[in-house]
Structure 1
Amino acid sequence: MTANKTNKANQVEVWWSSEKEPRARTWFDEPKPIAYKGEARPPLWAHAPRPENMATIAVFPELAYQEILGIGTSMEESTVYNLARMSPEKQDEIISLLVDPDGGAGFSLLRITLGTSDFTAQPFYTYDDLEEGETDFAMERFSIRKDMDLGIVSAVQRLLAAAPELRIFASSWSPPAWMKTSGDLRRGELKQGRPYIDALALYYRKAIQAYKEQGIDIYAITVQNEPLLEIDYPSCYMSPEQERELIVALRRELDAHGLSTKIWIFDHNFHDAWTYCCPILNDEDGRRASDGIALHDYEGEPSVMSELKAAYPDQTVHMTERSIWGVAAADRIAQYFRNWASSYNAWVTMLDSRIGKHQWVGIPDPTLLVQHHANRDEYWMTPELHLTGQFARFVKPGARRIESNYGSADTVTNVAFLNPDGSIVVVVINQTEQQQPIRIVCEGKQFEADAPPMSVATYRFARR
């Protein structure tokens, strides 16, 4: 049977994006031509199944797994600093590139920081900075004024105006210095004792309320970014036992003030997830206070997410920090979702061509966008914006991952989703130097395609 090209139910939409010199710092020097940049390709047409000697992706929409919260990036202060130096027209252009599902990447989930992180052009600060020896357990001097003065709040407001359904989650890099053993935002840990636990829970509750007053709802919070790391930028060691105390106190604060913000624990690497999460989630109060597990991909393997989901099925799983480079890393995103991640967020959206400004201890890799340091209205996109968009533009919040065979890096790999509108999305990653002929078989129909070399192809079609 040949494809019926008059029946829209048989139409398959196609988009391609390709890699180009992934992770090369020369992307900070100038833009480069990219073969495929998320453009729509001619449609394909499904037909009755038939034998084909090619890699086959079998899709089973009736076998549905986790619900997708969103896919996105971060609005840390380094990005805001560079964005603020552009003309209003160019700022609007950047915002559209980030959240527009038609002309941009279609991001639906944004990470912000509570106080500064290492990616900032500013002196480090929190919302309750005091002179040495002072304390403020009642948070009488609490204020997010610096976030407003630096344009962080207005940048998020503009993103929400462009994409009202955009969800925001927030992460803290350090409590105020007066709460810490180091007396500094760098290194140290939260001081022991109930007064400090309660004060920090109050601090986070007031931050959530302050943002809400600015029209920004914080969907979720991670109470400590990378709690096993002490380093020479805002950081704070926090044991799982102390984090358990903190989230229980924070849950009490949120409930008492009618706030629905979710709490995600951990927010660190796969490698240490089991030893950190068990002491929290095996405790009845800790389990009740936690809504999800946040993870980073700098050490360990994504398979730990499936293990944690099996152990704690009531907890959602989130990939809250890891930028990608090239199609091999696009495959890594597919692995996140195949291992029960409900979300994925890139880290650091835009640095300038001098790789600034930031206070990280190393030299950053290329960001999704690069701004020219001498002409702030000039910028360019790296392939990673398009590659991430191959997921974010088409996998809608509320979608569910569905069953498909993973495939092989020698041909193609994939991950599949069922959107709320009934459309099926299959993201196919070709990490080889050759075009790969494939067929996708789903619910009594199939179609064939040629996946271009070193590229990601997204296929969208209606369910039968």
Structure 2
Amino acid sequence: MDINKCIISASLWAAVYLLFGSAGAYNNDKPCAPQEIYNRSGICVCNATYCDTITKETVNPGRFMAYTSSENGLRFQKVTSLIEVFRKLSDCSTTIELDPTTKYQTIHGFGGAVTDSAGFIWNNIQDEGLKQALIDSYFSDTGLEYNMIRTPIGGSDFSSRAYTLNDYPLDDKELGNFSLTYEDYNYKLPMIKACIAAASSQVFMVGTTWSPPAWMKTSGSLTGVGFLKEEYFEAYANYHKKFLEEYKRNNISFWAITTTNEPLNGVVDLPDFNCLGWTIEGMGSWIVDYLGPTIKNYDSTIKILGIDDQRNTLPIWFTAVILKRPEVAQVLDGIALHFYFNDITPPSMTTTVLKDYPDLFLISTEASITETKGVDLGSWDGLEKYAVSLIQDLNYNYTGWIDWNLCLDTEGGPNWVKNYVDSPIVVDAEAGVFYKQPIFYAMGHFSKFIPRGSRRIKSTEKYNCSNALKHVAFLTPENTIVVVLLNEDNKDRVIRLKFGDNQAKVLVEGKSIITVEFNNEVQDDSCDCD
């Protein structure tokens, strides 16, 4: 978006907000350096000397802070206004009633993935200041404040080649040749360490295997339909343990591992990249008899997350597996699900399948825009897809949300099978810049303002004569209330956030996402947020 258009848009928006509150440049934040993209929302450009920042403001008593990003070019536009006594003006005064005394799941965090490709792209940025700006944009207090990272154990499609950490010799059941690779030492580990150094809170690491060594599989190949040979069940469990040991030697500890990335891919032969299929009985036996004991005996604090596949596979990789081996529910700590095909799979499926297993938490471990087959610079549609899924998932008790690659090149790779996708940050190495996509800001409207330990609270929309407004609300450890709202309509709307006898009256621009924060002034003796 042209910088003059952006300034005009921001100025008009600030003028309108004089009726509601005041806008300003707080904490010396650097605004977006916009670049116009035809028929798109636009992107923010970072170079060696400049990159936009966002700092969360302290909420003053009796006031609220609102942060808006819009299709028209706003990016975390800040506005503050007074809390008022609630007034229902008409039956069409759209109101979201908040009840901070009714609490649901506790949040683990938000983040993205350090793949070989992301590490390669980041490592190839020539200017050290620009490299740090990319890391800070995600993990620092002036960025999105990410606190989770997922990384492949060995190779994935977002690598330059197909490989594992023990390809040779064949039939090496004792894993005597297990070792980290050039990609670990030069791409993933340096980027992970930079992320951890920039973060102000602990970064939860999640490890996932795409495929074991080909000699462990019935197919003898890293790709295509293939299952783990039963004689290698113990070796495959030890493969995960050895990975954890090697990364710990490099000062990286893991919060969780998953039970294999997208196992359905190795059953139906859909993708061309690394995968492993399972039978129902085989998966249950491996988790209960091998993976569980191996990991818990090594470090009982490491979480084991089941499925790591699409939501629509829950009946296969959970319900059916549990029927064969009920003990799986005791071994697993949580369920990992992916973002893809969520628009055709109702979120109520998670409630239906997991209702008898309240001790298992639910987390989203991968998301990307795939329909464009690569990068779609400035796409607002991408932001809306992310925001819809985030709000929906969080309202159905997900405790965290991890995006896919932290950065990619302008093609949406590198990817050894050319399975290109979009990314929140796109690096143009030749130009010496990187671009922040709208989906970058979609993630930030949640990760920046919903810290670990926050609890989702009850929120109910009332008095609405227009389309329902997608929203989710939280009580933070600082005893503030955070509400994220998505306006998919083209027209502006005035929304009342009611809590107790008070309200925050918020102007929500058409085609925008807004995060609102204010102090919790509803008395609750059971509040554990202090």
- The TM-score, its normalising length taken from structure 1, stands at 0.90
Structure 2 CA distance for partners of 1:158 and 1:236, relative to 1, 3 Å:
same
Q: Is the 8 A contact 1:309 1:340 kept in 2?
A: no
1:150 aligns with 2:186: yes
Q: Is the 8 A contact 1:190 1:196 kept in 2?
A: no
1:275 aligns with 2:316: yes
Structure 1 equivalent of residue 338 of structure 2: 296
CA distance in 1, matches of 2:219, 2:385: 40
- Secondary structure of the residue aligned to 1:218 is coil
Match of 2:294 among 253, 257, 263: 253
Structure 2 CA distance for partners of 1:224 and 1:174, relative to 1, 3 Å:
same
- Secondary structure of the residue aligned to 1:37 is coil
1:372 aligns with 2:428: yes
Q: Shift of the alpha carbon at 1:178?
A: 1.0
1:440 aligns with 2:480: no
1:315 aligns with 2:360: yes
Letter in structure 2 aligned against 1:306: T
1:215 aligns with 2:251: yes
Structure 2 equivalent of residue 56 of structure 1: 95
Q: Is the 8 A contact 1:280 1:287 kept in 2?
A: no
Q: Shift of the alpha carbon at 1:252?
A: 0.7
CA distance in 1, matches of 2:488, 2:78: 20
Structure 2 equivalent of residue 384 of structure 1: 439
1:40 aligns with 2:78: yes
Structure 1 equivalent of residue 145 of structure 2: 106
Structure 1 equivalent of residue 327 of structure 2: 285
Structure 2 CA distance for partners of 1:49 and 1:315, relative to 1, 3 Å:
same
Letter in structure 1 aligned against 2:248: K
Q: Shift of the alpha carbon at 1:245?
A: 2.0
Structure 1 equivalent of residue 396 of structure 2: 339
Letter in structure 1 aligned against 2:501: G
What does the per-residue CA deviation read over 1:411-446, in whole Å, with 9 as the maximum and x for residues that have no partner? 522000111111110001100000011100012211
CA distance in 1, matches of 2:481, 2:243: 39
CA distance in 2, matches of 1:361, 1:379: 21
Structure 1 equivalent of residue 60 of structure 2: 8
CA distance in 2, matches of 1:318, 1:126: 26
What does the per-residue CA deviation read over 1:273-327, in whole Å, with 9 as the maximum and x for residues that have no partner? 1232013345342112111111113232322222233131111011111236122
Q: Shift of the alpha carbon at 1:360?
A: 4.4
1:93 aligns with 2:133: yes
- The TM-score, its normalising length taken from structure 2, stands at 0.79
What does the per-residue CA deviation read over 1:4-61, in whole Å, with 9 as the maximum and x for residues that have no partner? 99x9321111101124xxxxxxxxxxxxxx61112322x1211222123321101111
Match of 1:243 among 266, 283, 288: 283
- Secondary structure of the residue aligned to 1:8 is coil
Give the unaligned 5+ runs of structure 2: 1-19, 23-58, 370-381, 522-530
What does the per-residue CA deviation read over 1:250-270, in whole Å, with 9 as the maximum and x for residues that have no partner? 221123223421111111111
Match of 2:174 among 138, 149, 156: 138
Q: Shift of the alpha carbon at 1:138?
A: 1.2
How large is the Cα RMSD of the aligned pairs? 2.1
Q: Shift of the alpha carbon at 1:145?
A: 3.4
The alignment of Structure 1 onto Structure 2 pairs a total of residues equal to 439
Structure 2 CA distance for partners of 1:48 and 1:360, relative to 1, 3 Å:
farther
CA distance in 2, matches of 1:111, 1:406: 35
1:412 aligns with 2:451: no
Structure 1 equivalent of residue 167 of structure 2: 129
Give the unaligned 5+ runs of structure 1: 20-33
1:226 aligns with 2:262: yes
Q: Is the 8 A contact 2:479 2:519 kept in 1?
A: yes
CA distance in 2, matches of 1:105, 1:4: 25
What does the per-residue CA deviation read over 1:143-192, in whole Å, with 9 as the maximum and x for residues that have no partner? 11334333211110111111151111111110111101121211232333
1:202 aligns with 2:238: yes
The structure whose RCO (Cα within 8 Å, separation 6+) is larger is: 1
1:401 aligns with 2:443: no
Counterparts of 1:67-82 in structure 2 under 5 Å? Answer: 67-82=106-121
1:166 aligns with 2:203: yes
Q: Is the 8 A contact 1:240 1:277 kept in 2?
A: no
- Secondary structure of the residue aligned to 1:425 is strand
What does the per-residue CA deviation read over 1:225-248, in whole Å, with 9 as the maximum and x for residues that have no partner? 000113321111112322222222
Match of 1:459 among 490, 497, 516: 516
- Secondary structure of the residue aligned to 2:505 is strand
Q: Is the 8 A contact 1:254 1:260 kept in 2?
A: no
